[in-house]
Amino acid sequence: LRRNPGEVEFHQAAHEVLESLRPVVDKRPEFVDASIIERICEPERQIIFRVPWVDDSGKVRINRGFRVEFNSALGPYKGGLRFHPSVYLGIVKFLGFEQIFKNALTSMPIGGGKGGSDFDPKGRSDGEIMRFCQSFMTELYRHLGEYTDVPAGDIGVGGREIGYLFGQYKRITNRYEAGVLTGKGLSWGGSQVRTEATGYGTVFFVHEMLRARKTDFDGKKVVVSGSGNVAIYAAEKVAQLGGTVIALSDSGGYIVQEGGIDLDAVKELKEVRRGRISEYAEKRDARFVADGCIWDVPCDIALPCATQNELDESGAGALVKNGCIIVAEGANMPTTPEALRVLRRGGIEFAPGKAANAGGVATSALEMQQNASRDTWTFEYAEERLHDIMQGIYGTCAMTAEEYGMPGDYVAGANIAGFIRVADAMLALGVI
Ligand code: NDP
């Protein structure tokens, strides 16, 4: 705490992981001797920089840019960029820390990192977004490389932003180094299924949880928070597997439609028009609630897919009361520690983000594979790979939890399995 004052979210994420590790350090004292825990909590490198840009009225604006290169024991740093006014070092470090273990769980050769800016893209013109991205990359490029650090998208950074960032990287370096960024467009080095991967992957993970309970999505009512990249494609896969998504949200409120939400309309609203979720309810048989809690909507499965700490104690209480059976995190750390205690006491099965939302980064690694081999795969093949990876992650979490005497505790399973993979590599690489 003293080394990282004020970084509340980072403390929360680190505490949650370290809490799970007692049985590991008892079993593997060599990790303690080599100070692996102290080392893993300290980023290898943290970069903070000024991002000056000119808005449409000619005024010079200044934002702050971040990249935290947390751990490269398993491969180049890999993790997204977030553009949101709430971004500061504590958020970037929490996300980077989570990313280390998430990436390890995919079994792919990628280290952990994260970055972003306190820039608010909402309401900005295309030209402003482009100038901001170009200025951001004009500093960041010197820290990147396909063997060094490979960013992707996150909140506020989608295909459009990745395009502007990649364009500036290419211009400055005079290299078409496709493997330096993931989430690229399909015609310029992107991978099929990357857009869908995080949401689809979360639902594949839940599908495995349901199979273990000898059931499936058929007839299940699902509430998904958010209506961005992760939420939209989680909802799409739920519908494909026979479930009904009855609620979605954005930071302005939530919509409920008992018969099932029309996802094509949501995509048009959010991906094309960049509108507000309230507009969905204007022409349809749906209810918009401006100042409520989406978790009050009775459901069988809840998928928080918006942002950190969005599911609190009272939301968790409502889920328990209404008979929800599974909560799976599409977002990073959306569940507060207090809420998790309520869910556990209420007997709700819980899938942590670092396992359940790892499909996005796994498909980014598949994008890097295709870039390295100058290849492009079909949608079906890329989805099959994603599905296999998510089944693998589920299996690893379930087996590890069992091995350590906590069957069904996917939080412990994910933390322990991810940690051991990184810690073993750090031991092998010596004190660096
Ligand atoms: P987007 O920017 O595409 O969407 C974020 C969504 O969450 C928007 O609908 C946004 O609404 C909503 N939201 C943000 N803050 C709040 C809030 N306080 N209350 C309600 N809704 C809110 O981001 P992504 O979908 O990419 O990311 C969502 C989460 O998933 C993040 O935690 C991210 O770190 C995580 N994640 C993303 C991955 C990816 O591949 N994209 C990979 C793994 C994890 P509004 O527009 O009103 O702000």
What are the DSSP calls for 376-415, one per residue? ---HHHHHHHHHHHHHHHHHHHHHHHHHTT-TT-HHHHHH
Q: Decide: 251 in ligand 1 pocket, CB within 6 A.
A: yes
Sheet-wide strand order for 244-250: 287-289, 253-256, 244-250, 221-225, 301-304, 326-328, 349-351
Ligand 1 centre from 30 Cα, in Å? 39
CA 47 to chain centre: 21
Cβ–ligand 1 contact at 99 (below 6 Å): no
Q: Are 245 and 239 in contact (CB under 8 A)?
A: yes
Single pTM value for the model = 0.97
What local confidence, expressed as pLDDT, does residue 2 receive?
A: 80
Known catalytic residue: 59?
Answer: no
pLDDT value of residue 283: 86
* Any ligand 1 atom below 6 A from CB of 310: yes
Instruction: For the chain, list residues with pLDDT below 70.
Output: none
Atom of ligand 1 nearest to the CA of 332: 32
Whether the Cβ atoms of residue 71 and residue 418 lie closer than 8 Å to each other: no
Identify which of 12, 155, 248 to mutate to test ligand 1's pocket (most ligand atoms within 8 A of the CB).
Answer: 155
Nearest ligand 1 atom to the CA of 308 is 32
Distance CA 105, CA 84 (A): 27
- Check: CB of residue 339 under 8 Å from CB of residue 312: yes
Strand partners, 301: 222, 326
Ramachandran region, residue 142 (left: φ > 0; alpha: ψ -120 to 50; beta: rest): alpha
**Residue 431 in contact with residue 79, Cβ under 8 Å?**
no
Q: Is 215 in the pocket of ligand 1 (CB under 6 A)?
A: no
Q: Work out the angle between the directed axes of helices 194-212 and 379-403 (0-180°, nearest 10).
A: 40
Q: Identify the pLDDT of residue 196.
A: 97
CA-CA distance, 77 to 87, in Å (whole number)?
A: 19
Q: What is the reported pLDDT for 47?
A: 98
Output the six-digit token pair for 182.
Answer: 């993931």
Long-range contacts, 337-346 (Cβ 8 Å, 24+): 337/12, 337/15, 337/16, 338/312, 338/313, 339/311, 339/312, 339/313, 339/315, 340/316, 340/411, 342/313, 342/316, 342/317, 343/316, 343/319, 345/320, 346/316, 346/317, 346/319, 346/320
Domains in the chain with CATH codes: 8-12+43-179 (3.40.50.10860), 195-351 (3.40.50.720)
The Cβ of residue 269 has, within 10 Å, a number of other Cβ atoms equal to 19
d(CA 363, CA 369): 9
Q: What is the ipTM of this complex?
A: 0.98
Per-residue confidence (pLDDT) for residue 291, from 0 to 100: 85
From 78, 93, 102, 114, active-site residue: 114
Backbone angles phi, psi at 258, to 5 degrees: -60, -30
Residue 222 in tokens: 């699902």
Per-residue model confidence as pLDDT tens digits over 247-256: 999 999 999 9
Query: Ligand 1 centre from 304 Cα, in Å?
Result: 9
Q: Is the CB of 155 under 6 A from ligand 1?
A: yes
User: What's phi and psi for 417, nearest 5 deg?
Assistant: -65, -45
Q: From CA 169, how far away is CA 136, in angstroms rounded?
A: 10
Query: Exposed, middle or buried: residue 246 (CB in 10 Å: 0-12, 13-18, 19+)?
Result: buried
Residue type, 131: R
The protein residue whose alpha carbon is closest to atom 30 in ligand 1 is 331
| Pocket flag, ligand 1, residue 307 (CB < 6 Å) | yes
Strand pairing report for 326-328 and 349-351: parallel
Residue 423 CA to its chain's centroid (Å): 22
Ligand 1 centre and the CA of 22: distance in Å?
32
CB 297, CB 254: distance < 8 Å? yes
Ligand 1 near 357 CB (within 6 A): yes
392 burial type by CB count under 10 A (0-12 exposed, 13-18 middle, 19+ buried): middle
Q: Which of helix, strand or coil describes residue 270? A: helix
Q: Is 95 helix (H, G, I), strand (E, B) or coil?
A: helix
Provide the H-helix boundaries in 346-378: 353-356, 359-372
Residue of the CA atom closest to atom 5 of ligand 1:
228
